[in-house]
Amino acid sequence: MIRFSEAGLQAFKEERARLGKPDLGVQIAFAYGCGGAGFRVTFTDDPTAHHAVQEDRGVPIWLDSQCVAGLDGAVIDHDGTGFLLRHPDAAIVEFC
């Protein structure tokens, strides 16, 4: 299960209010690139149809099938300057 830290949840709610999109959620997809494999994290209110849905305190989190098991235990955080996807077994991913 992926969850928000308190700081991440508060910053996300502020961003959702600022954008005026009450259905905004987080979409996480496995991505391949020049540097290898990683994750692409975006905010959306229109997720792709092939995503699994989790929820943390009213915020939908859409995951592609390759992310479901691999991101168990991950935390969406905010460090005061930007959002971070933290996982105990992986590198931190900065996004948005």
Instruction: Match 């991913």 to its residue by tokens.
Output: 93
Rounded Cα gap, residues 88 and 96, in angstroms = 21
pLDDT of 6-63, one tens digit each? 999 999 999 999 999 999 999 988 876 666 667 788 999 988 877 788 999 999 999 8
CATH superfamily membership of 3-95: HesB-like domain (2.60.300.12)
Nearest-10 Cα torsion for 14, 17, 23, 25: -20
pLDDT reported for residue 37: 63
